[in-house]
Amino acid sequence: MMNRETWRSEERLRIENLSKHFGGLRAVDSCSFKILPHRIYGLIGPNGSGKTTLFNTITGIFPPTGGSVIFNDEDITGFPSYEITRRGIARTFQLVQIYPEMTVLENLLVGAQSQLGESVVLSLLRTPAVRRETRDLVDKAMSLLRVTEMERLADHRAGDIPYGEQKMVEIMRALMTGPELILLDEPTSGLNPSLVARILDYIRYLRDEEGQTFIIVEHNMRVIMSVCEEIIVLNVGRKIAQGTPEEVSRNPEVIRAYLGE
Amino acid sequence: MELLPLVLHVLNVIVIWAVLSLSLNFLQGTAGLFNLGHAAFFCVGAYASALLAKAGLPWIVCLLASVLFPALLALVYGLPTLRLKADYFATVTMGIGEIIRAVANNLQGVTGGPNGVPSIPCPSLFGFQFSRGPGTLVLGCVVLLLTYLALDRWRRSGFGRVLIAAREDPTAAQAMGKDTYHFRLNCFLLSAGFAGIAGSLFAYYYGYISPGDFGLWVAYNLTLTLTIGGSGNYRGTMLAAAVFIIMRDGLRFLPLPPTAQGPLQQLLFGLLMIVIMWRFPQGLIPEVPTITFAKHSSQRSEESWESQA
C-alpha–C-alpha distance, residues A245 and A48, integer Å: 21
Query: Which residue in A has a C-alpha nearest to residue B292's C-alpha?
Result: A155
* Burial (Cβ within 10 Å: 0-12, 13-18, ≥19) of residue B152: middle
Residues on chain A bordering chain B, Cβ-to-Cβ distance under 8 angstroms: 59, 61, 80-82, 85-86, 90-91, 93, 97-103, 105-106, 109-113, 115-120, 123-124, 126, 130, 133-135, 138, 142, 154-155, 173, 177
Residue of B nearest to A125 (CA): B153
Q: Which residues contact A213 (CB under 8 A, 6 or more apart)?
A: A12, A35, A36, A37, A38, A39, A40, A41, A180, A181, A182, A207
Q: Is residue A14 part of a domain?
A: no
pLDDT for res B142: 97
pLDDT digits (tens, 9 = 90+) for A29-77: 999 999 999 999 999 998 889 999 999 999 999 999 999 999 999 999 9
B191 and B202 Cβ atoms separated by less than 8 Å: no
- Chain A CB contacts of B178 below 8 Å: 82, 110, 118
- Check residue A44 and give its pLDDT: 93
- Among B161, B177, B293, the residue with its CB nearest the CB of A82 is B177
Q: Which residues contact A216 (CB under 8 A, 6 or more apart)?
A: A40, A41, A42, A43, A183, A184, A187, A203, A223, A224, A227, A228
The whole-angstrom distance between A252's CA and the closest CA on chain B is: 37
Report the candidate in B248, B259, B249, B253 with the shortest Cα–Cα distance to residue B1.
B253
Among partner residues B150, B162, B292, which is closest to A118 by beta-carbon distance? B162
Q: Which residue from B minimizes the CA distance to A108? A: B176
pLDDT at A9: 55
Beta-carbon-side half-sphere exposure of residue A91 (alpha carbons within 13 Å): 31
Name the percent of chain A lying above pLDDT 90.
82
Whether residues A105 and B292 touch (CB distance < 8 A) is answered with: yes
CA distances from B211 to A176, B15, B46, B104, B192 (A): 50, 21, 10, 6, 18
For chain A, the domain total comes to 1
In a domain, A172, yes or no: yes
Quote the mean pLDDT of chain A: 92
pLDDT at B303: 55
Q: Residue B155: which of B68, B282, B27, B299 has the closest Cα?
A: B27
Check: CB of residue A89 under 8 Å from CB of residue A58.
Answer: yes
Chain A residue at shortest CA distance from B189: A120
The CATH number assigned to the domain with range B3-308 reads 1.10.3470
Question: Quick one: pLDDT band at residue A7, thresholds 50, 70, 90?
Answer: very low
Query: Do the strands A66-71 and A13-22 form a parallel or antiparallel pair, or are they unpaired?
Result: antiparallel
**B171/A97 Cβ within 8 A:** yes
Q: Which residues of A touch B154 (CB under 8 A)?
A: 120, 123-124
Q: B288 to chain A nearest CA, in Å?
A: 9
Backbone angles phi, psi at B231, to 5 degrees: -65, 125
Write the pLDDT tens digit of every residue in A217-259.
998 888 899 999 999 999 999 999 999 999 998 999 988 888 7
Query: How far is Cα B154 from Cα B169, in angstroms, rounded to an integer?
Result: 19
Could you tell me which of A202, A16, A92 has the C-alpha nearest to residue B172? A92
Nearest CB partner across the interface for B172, out of A93, A103, A118: A93
Cβ distance B157 to A109 less than 8 Å, yes or no, reads no
Q: Which of A229, A226, A140, A153 is closest to A188 using CA atoms?
A: A226
CB contact under 8 A, A120 and B190: yes
What sign does the CA torsion over A20, A25, A29, A35 have? negative
Residue ranges in chain B whose pLDDT is less than 70: 1, 299-309
* Structural domain contains residue A202: yes
3-state secondary structure of A28: strand
pLDDT value for A220: 87
Instruction: Determine the Cα–Cα distance for residues A157 and B164; give it in Å rounded to an integer.
Output: 13
Which pLDDT value is given to residue B6? 86
A2 pLDDT more than 50: no
CA distance B63 to B50: 10
CB spacing of B169 vs A98 below 8 angstroms: yes
> What is the mean predicted confidence (pLDDT) over A147-163?
95
What is the domain partition of chain B in residue ranges?
3-308
Whole-angstrom distance, CA of residue A177 vs CA of residue B220 = 41
The residue segments making up the domain with residue A197 are: 20-101+163-259
Provide ipTM, 2 decimals: 0.91
Predicted confidence (pLDDT) at residue A146 exceeds the cutoff of 80: yes
How many CB pairs below 8 A link A and B?
A: 118
Give residue B87's pLDDT.
Answer: 82
